[in-house]
């Protein structure tokens, strides 16, 4: 059941752009950002699947608890297929198939269904994101390299924000010029009495844009900042700062909703050693028999870094919208639609 208190309704909210302008602006953002990121990281566009066969290990578990939407394929003896959650592992397989050399990569438009998502201003069951993956060398498996890639991605976001403000002067840029980096354990120590989400709000309000490192690994108090599946991001390898983890989340402070918003989850991917370690830590060693995991352990997949960047969510914050439903077409509870109408929020 939809709980109305989850919806944030900015007082006196009025969209900066009407519906017609919004649709045009969404196209401009998506085209400009895709071209910018592809050029910056040398990424080649590839065609992505909407679903994969169940049991290959190619679909992503995200936090490890979300259920995939599953359906039988009539012409394949009802073999079960799954709507993708994201393409982290599929992309790495694609790097191998295309023999992409280090320093180059792939990017695709990913569309997914996450039926277990809790719906609010920034969460939808429909997910659209730029999924990218880049081949790397073993020498690049460092925190320094991760930070450099994050800075380059954030630079593309800033360029897109400026480009948009030139066309629509009412959209005043608000993002800071630089990203603040902090490990999730450092963040816990800084705000020991806050929950992980409250810590994100506090640090993002202080710095404007933050990359939290080491998402998925155990903190010193035995908890995790957030959950991560064991078989794509490397959250357990010791890094240059004396902590563990070569992955993280990019978040910004969004004044309109007075909260932190995650724009990207990304990281250096597991090598064979980290995969086996993380599978053991989560008690999921049986996955080693799956197609993807066998290829990785057998040295058939390249080392890589990659992530996803939410398209509708990026459009939402760059267009100064109060709800992600203003930048994508999805399904919302009728109670939420009613609340949004009363608050001046026009869901597509």
Is 134 a member of any domain? yes
Taking each helix axis from N to C terminus, what angle separates 143-167 and 19-41, rounded to the nearest 10 degrees?
140
- Please say whether the beta carbons of 215 and 178 come within 8 A: no
Residue 49 belongs to a domain: yes
Domain membership flag for residue 187: yes
60, 61, 200, 271: the catalytic one is 60
Question: In this structure, is residue 347 part of a structural domain?
Answer: no
Residue among 188, 262, 295, 337 flagged as catalytic:
262
223 belongs to a structural domain:
yes
Which residue's structure tokens are 């910004």?
252
> 36, 129, 236, 328: which one is catalytic?
129
Kindly report the CATH number assigned to the domain that includes residue 266: 3.30.930.10
- Annotated active-site residue 148? The verdict is no
pLDDT tens for 296-309 read 999 999 999 999 99
Whether residue 274 contacts residue 236, with contact meaning beta carbons closer than 8 Å, is answered with: yes
| DSSP class per residue in 91-138 | HHHHHHHTTPPTT-EEEEEEEEE-TTPPPSSS--SEEEEEEEEEE--G
92 is catalytic: no
Active-site residue flag, 249: yes
Rg (CA), the chain: 20
Cα–Cα–Cα angle for 85, 330, 3, rounded to 5 degrees: 90
Sheet holding 209-213, edge to edge: 43-45, 105-113, 126-135, 304-310, 259-268, 247-254, 209-213, 180-183
Q: Which of 236, 265, 278, 311 is catalytic?
A: 265
264 is catalytic: no
Check if 170 is active-site.
Answer: no
How deeply is 267 buried, as exposed, middle or buried, from its count of CB atoms within 10 A (0-12, 13-18, 19+)? buried
Residue pLDDT, tens place only, 72-101: 888 898 888 888 877 888 999 999 999 999
Q: Above 80 in pLDDT, residue 175?
A: yes
- The answer to whether residue 227 sits within a structural domain is yes
Q: Is residue 175 a part of any domain in this protein?
A: yes
Residue 63: closest CA among 232, 304, 182: 232
| 145, part of any domain | yes
Q: Which domain holds residue 86?
A: 4-342
pTM of the model: 0.92
b/e per residue 171-186 (b: at least 16 CB within 10 A): beebbeeebebbbbbb
Phi, psi of 276 (to 5 degrees): -65, -40
pLDDT bracket for residue 314 (50, 70, 90): very high
288 near 276, Cβ under 8 Å?
A: yes
Number of domains in the chain: 1
What are the distances in angstroms from CA 56 to CA 93, 127, 139, 186, 227?
12, 22, 30, 37, 22
The confidence band for 176, taking pLDDT boundaries of 50, 70 and 90, is very high
Helix (H, G, I), strand (E, B) or coil at 309: strand
Q: What percent of the chain has pLDDT over 70?
A: 97
Q: Residues 246-295: pLDDT tens digits?
A: 999 999 999 999 999 999 999 999 999 999 999 999 999 999 999 999 99
Q: How confident is the model at residue 164 (pLDDT cuts 50, 70, 90)?
A: very high
The full DSSP string for 151-162 is HHHHHHHHHHHH
The active-site residue out of 92, 114, 134, 141 is: 114
Task: Look up 60 and say whether it is catalytic.
Answer: yes
Alpha-carbon gap, residue 311 to 129, rounded angstroms: 5
């Amino acid at each position: 059941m939809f709980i109305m208190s989850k919806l944030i309704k900015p007082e006196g909210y009025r969209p900066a752009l009407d519906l017609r302008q919004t649709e045009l602006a969404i196209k401009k953002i998506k085209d400009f950002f895709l071209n910018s990121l592809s050029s910056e990281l040398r990424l080649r566009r590839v065609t992505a699947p909407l679903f994969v066969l169940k049991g290959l290990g190619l679909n992503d578990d995200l936090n490890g608890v979300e259920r995939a939407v599953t359906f039988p394929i009539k012409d394949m003896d009802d073999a079960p297929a799954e709507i993708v959650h994201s393409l982290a592992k599929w992309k790495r397989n694609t790097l191998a198939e295309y023999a992409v050399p280090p320093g180059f990569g792939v990017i695709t438009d990913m569309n997914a269904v996450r039926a277990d998502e809790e719906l609010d201003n920034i969460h939808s069951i429909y997910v659209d994101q730029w999924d990218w993956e880049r081949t790397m060398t073993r020498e690049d498996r460092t925190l320094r390299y991760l930070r450099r890639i994050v800075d380059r991605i954030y630079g593309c976001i800033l360029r897109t924000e400026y480009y948009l403000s030139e066309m629509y002067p009412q959209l005043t840029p608000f993002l800071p010029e630089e990203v603040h980096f902090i490990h999730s354990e450092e963040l816990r120590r800084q705000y020991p009495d806050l929950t992980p989400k409250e810590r994100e709000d506090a640090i993002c309000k202080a710095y404007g844009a933050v990359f939290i490192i080491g998402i998925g690994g155990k903190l010193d108090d035995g908890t995790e900042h957030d959950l991560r599946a064991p078989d794509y991001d490397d959250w357990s390898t010791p890094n240059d700062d004396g902590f563990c983890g070569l992955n993280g989340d990019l978040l910004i402070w969004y004044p309109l909703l007075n909260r932190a918003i995650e724009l990207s989850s990304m990281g250096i991917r597991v090598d064979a050693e980290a995969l086996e370690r993380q599978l053991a830590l989560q008690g999921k060693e049986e996955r080693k028999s799956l197609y993807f995991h066998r290829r990785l352990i057998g040295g058939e997949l390249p080392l890589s870094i990659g992530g996803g960047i939410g398209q509708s969510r990026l459009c939402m914050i760059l267009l100064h919208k109060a709800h992600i439903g203003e930048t994508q077409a999805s399904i919302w509870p009728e109670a939420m639609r009613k609340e949004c109408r009363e608050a001046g929020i026009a869901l597509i």
